[in-house]
Structure 1
Amino acid sequence: MVTFGHDGARLAVLPETARGILEEIMKTRAREYKSDFARRYVAEGEAKGEARAILLLLAARGIEVPESVRVRISETTDLSLLDSWVRRAGSVESVEELLDPR
């Protein structure tokens, strides 16, 4: 049985040509979430992913992250701030330097 996408929707009932066209459209089409509900949860997921990346990068570099800083990073929802921390996490020598707004 053929499945498509992350939700495992079944496309086996479609003719092969139609299924192929639909799969190509879905691969290339930008998905824009219309509802505030969906946008909020997508943004939360992005923030959690960025926070996780920061903490993993710091850990990989052997930089100690106190629990209070771990919580602060994990609870931050400002994507532009998280982006700046991700960029800086590769070069800072301490979490204090990371969090310094300069």
Structure 2
Amino acid sequence: MSVGTYEWQSDFARKYVGIGREEGREEGREEGREEGRAYEAARSVITILESRGLTLTPHTRRRIETCTDLHTLEQWIPKAIKADTPEDLFT
């Protein structure tokens, strides 16, 4: 019998297995959306810097690409437009 089609009998199971699974799916979806926004923001920062002719060191590129904090990345976008060097983002 597949768990996906099984109808849980106890109130406990209905509450914690059925609902929990759906809540988990929604949390996963939101987490995926957040990761996608962070990825796009990081790509934007790199694109801006490179289009301005600035050369990114491997360390700087890795720091931007591995940043998962959307707020930080969004702050780096306007800095990337004005920065004299890529490292100016981090000051």
Please confirm whether the aligned pair reaches a TM-score higher than 0.5, indicating the same fold: yes
Which residue, 70, 73, 87 being the options, matches 1:82? 73
User: Aligned partners of 1:73, 1:55: CA distance in 2, in Å?
Assistant: 8
Runs of 4+ in 1 over 3 A off after TM superposition: none
Q: Percent identity?
A: 28
User: Aligned partners of 2:60, 2:27: CA distance in 1, in Å?
Assistant: 30
What is the TM-score of this pair, normalised by structure 2? 0.70
Looking at secondary structure, tell me which structure has more helix per residue.
2
What is the TM-score of this pair, normalised by structure 1? 0.63
**Structure 1 gap segments, 5+ residues each:** 1-33
**How many aligned positions are there?**
67
Structure 1 residue 97, shift from structure 2 partner? 1.1
* Higher RCO (Cα < 8 Å, 6 or more apart): 2
Q: For the pair shown, which has the larger CA radius of gyration, 1 or 2? A: 2
